[in-house]
Amino acid sequence: MSEIDEIKARLDIIELISESVNLHRSGKNFAGYCPFHANSRTPAFYVFPDTGTWHCFGCHEGGDIFGFVMKKEGLDFKDTVQRLAERAGVELRSRTPKDAEKEETFEALRALLEEAVTFFRHQLWNTAAGKTALEYLRQRNLTDDTIESFGIGYAPHSWDMLINHFTAIQITPKNLLDVGLAGERESGGIYDRFRHRVMFPIRDERGRITGFGARCLNPDDMPKYLNSPQTVLFDKGRLLYGLDKARKPIRVQDQAVIVEGYLDVIALHQYGFTNVVSPMGTALNEHQLRVLKTLSRRIVLALDADAAGDRATLRGLEIARQTLDREDEILFDARGLLQHEARLQADIRVAVLPKGMDPDEVVHRNPDEWKKILENARPIVIHVMDTLAANRDLNDPKQKDEVARQVLPLIEDVPSSIERETYRQRLARLLHVDERAFVNIRAYSHRSASARRASTGKPSSDKQQTGINFISVPNYEREAHILGILLRDPSLLFRIDRALQEEKLDRFAEQDFLRSDYQQIFTILHFSLEQDEIEPYKYIQNKLSSLLLEVADDLYARTEKVVLEDERIVDDIFRTLLYLRRNNFQRQKDVLDNQLSEAQEQGSEEVLEELKVQLHETLKIIYRCDLARQRLVHFG
């Protein structure tokens, strides 16, 4: 039980609200005059003991015990929790000194790396040795402004110049080892890790320095590119070079372009193509693709066109399929069914570069050529099909069969039946076979997949009956289900709002939640989508208090089985929200019915007419919720 739930369990909402509102019983609930707006003719303020919530049907404010105290006392959520915790005798856990110490350590290490950026830049611009590196960068057609913008520098040809610089400002050898600027000799002592190299600062999506990438200037030096080692700040597999600069352009253009190297990213940015990032010479992994997916589902892989580039492209596509494709997890939807989803939900395309050219060479030759290359980027299936078929003897039946067996499973994962059929026809033409020849291969693939699922104990059917009766699920669990999914992908809120508008219903708002902690989290989530400084999920993490982070962690755990790539995820949230909203307005209708009866008995015509107007508006919303739910059932 969370601290918030423990406080609720110990405090009686009727007792607390009765201290400032004169409540009287109305059926199984309690009613009174609202303390938050002028309300003297008929009680509009209701408290519902069964849910531990309150709602005013006049000013439409509502929430739980925390929401009432916040509004009544003008406190923020943190102070409200503290006050009610004291009243309930609940001891709140606070941020530990260890947590604070850890963050201070990270900040100190980042400051050290920023000092290294300054050191390397000075070496580039202000030393004779740096002229070689500067000349190399200019030969790569980079302008001085671009070099400055990306903070590029030069590591001198020395085993200890950087160490001596930092020793002079009281930086210890351990600190230099901790951030990867120094290496440790077997015989003892340390040495400069980067020597006679062009230095590229690597930053996270928030622009915080994490480490360096270094390109050799001497052709005989190996490796050609050397990155910082794994440190507490630098994890190459979780970073994308240039993302701090590309984040907003990717959102605006609704497209992310992935290239292979630092200089490709920098050159493209110089020419105005700012939606570009690089995985720094490694194959794409799950985390990197998921980060990009939060910005855009349209991803273009623009890798080198030589043989190694083709292999790298295929590796990247295979990782992309694993990440964005089927995950044998169970989806809980609002209709109480457990369903599998095995269709790609990202538009991954591959840009074909001119033979022997890198993206930076293309854009320097002709920026319009780069535009056309992106415009002509091919769907993932077509690229794989053509790449596998290249340099093969397609008159050889065995090679035809090998190509077909690799391409057909990918085709089966395409969600559109029209696209699947089109790809099969194209593959048949490419291999010069009848499309019917694929039937046995497809059947074999399905049997193999079923056998794999059986061997791992995972369900093989596309639909499984749920063990949860959705009708019996408490409303707060429905709220948790919705909010947990939105925390995993805040951008879904845009699609939910569009669906609500199409049904002439109000946008999703914090009032749709009864719990104050959920309202607080939803408000921060909403703000995260309105700002564009950092990624929504990072914004949310930074803004949530330690107490709300605990709640958010629980919401994450509740929705860990949800497949975000499921094309029906919006329907899932929408159905659940419609259920909750209809439930709330049905409760309002019941209250209004009681008030109408009382007004008729008292003969108050003015109050009666006002209540009839409210009832009419309430019934209209209930009708729209029902209509929207019926459409979902019909088309879903």
- Looking at the chain, the whole-number percentage of residues with pLDDT higher than 70 is 83
* Tokens of residue 580, six digits: 């909750």
Indicate the DSSP class of residue 435.
G
The helix (run of H) or strand (run of E) holding residue 299 is strand 298-301
- Which pLDDT score, from 0 to 100, does residue 307 have? 34
Higher pLDDT: 444 or 278? It is 278
d(CA 153, CA 124): 5
Q: Give the Cα separation of 397 and 64 in Å (integer).
A: 70
Give the integer Cα–Cα distance in Å for 519 and 77: 10
What whole-number distance in Å separates Cα of residue 422 and Cα of residue 429?
Answer: 11
pLDDT at residue 96, rounded to an integer:
64
Question: Alpha-carbon distance 610 to 70, whole Å?
Answer: 29
203 in helix, strand or coil?
A: strand
What's the one-letter identity of residue 615?
A: L
Between 340 and 266, the more confident residue is 266
Mean pLDDT of the chain: 81
Q: What does the alpha-carbon distance between residue 135 and residue 124 come to, in Å, rounded to a whole number?
A: 10
Sign of CA dihedral 519, 520, 521, 527: positive
Which residue, 269, 318, 270, 324, is CA-closest to 298?
A: 324
Domains of the chain: 3-88 (3.90.580.10), 106-234 (3.90.980.10), 246-455 (3.40.1360.10), 473-635 (1.10.860)
Q: Average pLDDT in the 501-511 region?
A: 86
Residue 343: pLDDT over 90: no
CA angle 242, 246, 249 (to 5 degrees): 170
User: What pLDDT, in 10s, does the model give residues 23-61?
Assistant: 988 878 888 888 887 777 778 888 988 888 898 887 778
| Angstrom distance (rounded) from CA 608 to CA 524 | 40
**Quick one: pLDDT at residue 262?**
93
pLDDT at 473: 47
pLDDT of residue 148: 96
DSSP for 60-117 reads: --EEEHHHHHHHHHT--HHHHHHHHHHHHTPPPP---HHHHHHHHHHHHHHHHHHHHH
How far separated are the first and last CA of the chain, in Å rounded? 36
Condensed to tens digits (0 to 9), the pLDDT of residues 113-148 reads 999 999 999 999 999 999 999 999 999 999 999 999
Report the pLDDT value the prediction gives residue 125, as an integer from 0 to 100: 97
β-strand 190-192 against 225-227: which pairing, if any?
A: unpaired
User: Which pLDDT score is estimated for 58?
Assistant: 78
Q: What does pTM read for this prediction?
A: 0.55
Residue 333 has pLDDT above 80, yes or no: no
In SS3 terms, 312-328 reads as HHHHHHHHHHHHHCCCC
Pairwise pLDDT comparison (112 vs 592), residue with the higher score: 112
The mean pLDDT of 187-197, rounded to a whole number, is 94
Residue-wise pLDDT for 222-242, tens only, equals 889 999 999 999 988 889 999
Does the pLDDT at position 485 exceed 50? Answer: yes
DSSP structure class, residue 512: G
Question: Running DSSP on this structure, what letter comes out for residue 169?
Answer: T
Model confidence at 94: pLDDT above 80: no
Q: Tell me: cis bond preceding 223? Omega within 30 of 0 counts.
A: yes
Q: Which residues pair with 197 in a beta bridge?
A: 155, 216
According to DSSP, the residues that pair with 379 across neighbouring strands are 349
CB within 8 A of 376, min separation 6: which ones? Answer: 351, 352
- pLDDT score recorded for residue 511: 84
Closest Cα partner for 378 from 299, 476, 267, 312?
299
pLDDT digits 0-9 by tens, 533-576: 788 888 888 888 878 888 888 888 888 888 877 778 888 899 89
How far, in Å, are 107, 108, 114 from residue 102 at the CA level? 9, 10, 19
Top pLDDT among 206 and 441 is at 206
Are 154 and 116 in contact, with CB atoms under 8 Å apart? no
Cβ(269)–Cβ(364) below 8 Å: no
